[in-house]
Amino acid sequence: QAGLTQPPSVSKGLRQTATLTCTGNSNNVGNQGAAWLQQHRGHPPKLLSYRNNNRPSGISERLSASRSGNTASLTITGLQPEDEADYYCSAWDSSLSVWVFGGGTKLTVL
Amino acid sequence: EVQLLESGGGLVQPGGSLRLSCAASGFTFNNYAMGWVRQAPGRGLEWVSSISGSGRDTFYADSVKGRFTISRDNFKNTLYLQMNSLRAEDTAEYYCTKDSGSYDYWGQGTLVTVST
């Protein structure tokens, strides 16, 4: 079961904007949209957005998600030290009836 | 407040079995699908299995199909994962997740180590 494709790492400066990408296919990201999760070392993942740009309560407005075709994106503006974490995308694959995850992107805030 | 509390992890020899449990509270358990996601040390997230709210429909990753069984007790608000024929590559932190169309709540995880 092939996963979603994410760049392994992204580095940006403090207060800059980072855009993370996640590429799938028409059966997962292109069909159901993607969810984004944040994971700090030693902690469980935390949902940041679902179905492309719906934010759970309590999630910062500095985060926004979008989708274009089979690629989902997560944009974080005004980067803060606490944004440094691993970010994962996930989607339901309607053809395979499985959840698929991206390999994760390590975001470093310089 | 939604809470998911996993238990049952530990050290097991290759070929052995373990049963993970996840006690859920703070939401109407039988209204939601649930899932298990694992994370090997230093690696990314890997979906393991999902089950519908009624328990009628189950889904598995190819890597565990035929060895793991997901189930739930909607009277006890508890999710289970029976793991048989364990292999070294099953070593991971196992997370219980609530599925509302995406995995919106996660437990703290329980560590499974498969080793001699």
Out of B37, B59, B102, closest to residue A35 by CB: B102
Task: Give yes or no for residue A1 having a pLDDT over 70.
Answer: no
Contacts of B95 in chain A (CB under 8 A): 44-45
> Which residues of B sit within 8 Å Cβ distance of A?
35, 37, 44-47, 50, 59, 61-62, 95, 101-109
- Amino acid, res. B15: G
Task: Give yes or no for residue B62 having a pLDDT over 70.
Answer: yes
Chain A to chain B Cβ contacts (< 8 Å): 54
Single out the residue of B86, B107, B105, B102 nearest to residue B12, CA to CA: B86
Note whether B95 contacts A37, CB cutoff 8 Å.
no
- pLDDT digit string (tens) for A50-74? 876 788 888 889 999 999 999 999 9
Q: What's the average model confidence in pLDDT over B5-11?
A: 97
For residues A3 and A80, the model is more confident at: A80
Report the C-alpha dihedral over residues B58, B6, B12, A90, rounded to 10 degrees. Answer: 50
Tally of CB atoms within 10 A around A14:
11
- pLDDT digit string (tens) for A9-48? 999 999 999 999 999 999 999 997 899 999 999 999 999 9
